[in-house]
Amino acid sequence: DAGITQSPRHKVTETGTPVTLRCHQTENHRYMYWYRQDPGHGLRLIHYSYGVKDTDKGEVSDGYSVSRSKTEDFLLTLESATSSQTSVYFCAISQSGEQYFGPGTRLTVT
Amino acid sequence: GENVEQHPSTLSVQEGDSAVIKCTYSDSASNYFPWYKQELGKRPQLIIDIRSNVGEKKDQRIAVTLNKTAKHFSLHITETQPEDSAVYFCAASVSGAGSYQLTFGKGTKLSVIP
C-alpha cells in the first residue's frame, strides 16, 4: 500500500466549519496528490505537491487549500465546508510516474 | 487540458467470457496510460499501465492496447472470474513533464455473473 495513511477515515461536519484532512507517507516520495471521488465523476484532482512548500491547483481546487511543510505530510483544508464538498477524498503518491492511493476519507457535510 | 472518455459505464459478462473497456483521450502529448480497479469501499488499485512507446502489454489475464494515432486505449480481461467484479478506471497523463497529473475516465462497473 506504498506506506500511505489518511486521517481521519470518516468525518461528519456541519456547513461552515473548517476541516483538515491529513495524508501521511513513509517513503519520501516527492509528489503527492489530493483527489475527490463522486458518483458519476470518477476521480478529480484537487491539488498536488511537487515538494515541501511547492503546491499547485488541480481541476477542482475552488474551496480547498493545501499545505506541505514536511515531505511526509500533505494537508487538505476546507476553510468553510459546504454540502457540495461531501465526498470521498483520496490522497496519492507518485513513484516513477505510477500513482498509488491511500485508503480514503469519507467526509459528510451536513 | 486533457479529457478522457470511458465506455461503457456498465458491463455485465458471464464468468469465463472476455470483457473489454475502451477509453479515448484528447491530448496528443499524453504518454502514460494506467488502469485502476476499485472494489466497493476500497482504494483504487493500479492493475496495469502502458507507455506510448509500446502498443500492447499483457499481465496474465489482463492486457492493455494503445492506438496513439486514434488516441484510444483499451483494457481486455480474459476468462473473467467473479472476483473481477469491480469498477475500473482508465487515466492518462504526460509522464516526465514533472507533475505526473492523471486525468481519469468516469469508470466502468464490471459485473461478472457466475
Which residues, in sequence order, are bridge partners of residue B97? Answer: none
| CB–CB contact B46 A100 (8 Å) | yes
pLDDT of res. B101: 86
Q: Computed from CA positions of residues A71, A73, A79, A84, in that sequence, does the dihedral angle turn out positive or negative?
A: positive
pLDDT digits (tens, 9 = 90+) for B1-48: 889 999 999 999 999 999 999 999 999 989 999 999 999 999 999 999
pLDDT of res. B73: 97
pLDDT digits (tens, 9 = 90+) for A64-79: 999 999 999 999 999 9
- Tell me the shortest Cα–Cα distance from B93 to chain A, in angstroms: 9
**Cα dist from B7 to A30, A67, B74, B76, B83, whole Å:** 33, 36, 10, 13, 21
Amino acid at A63: G
**Cα dist from B17 to B63, B82, B111, whole Å:** 14, 11, 11
- Tell me the shortest Cα–Cα distance from A88 to chain B, in angstroms: 10
Q: A41: pLDDT confidence band, cut at 50, 70 and 90?
A: confident
Element (H, E) at A69: strand A64-70
pLDDT of res. B88: 98
Chain B CB contacts of A31 below 8 Å: 99-100
pLDDT of res. B96: 63
Q: Which of B32, B45, B106 sits opposite A97 (nearest CB)?
A: B32
- Note whether A51 contacts B: Cβ–Cβ < 8 A: no
| Residue where the block lists cell 489518511 | A6
Q: What is the mean pLDDT of residues A91-103?
A: 90
Chain B CB contacts of A100 below 8 Å: 46
Chain B CB contacts of A30 below 8 Å: none
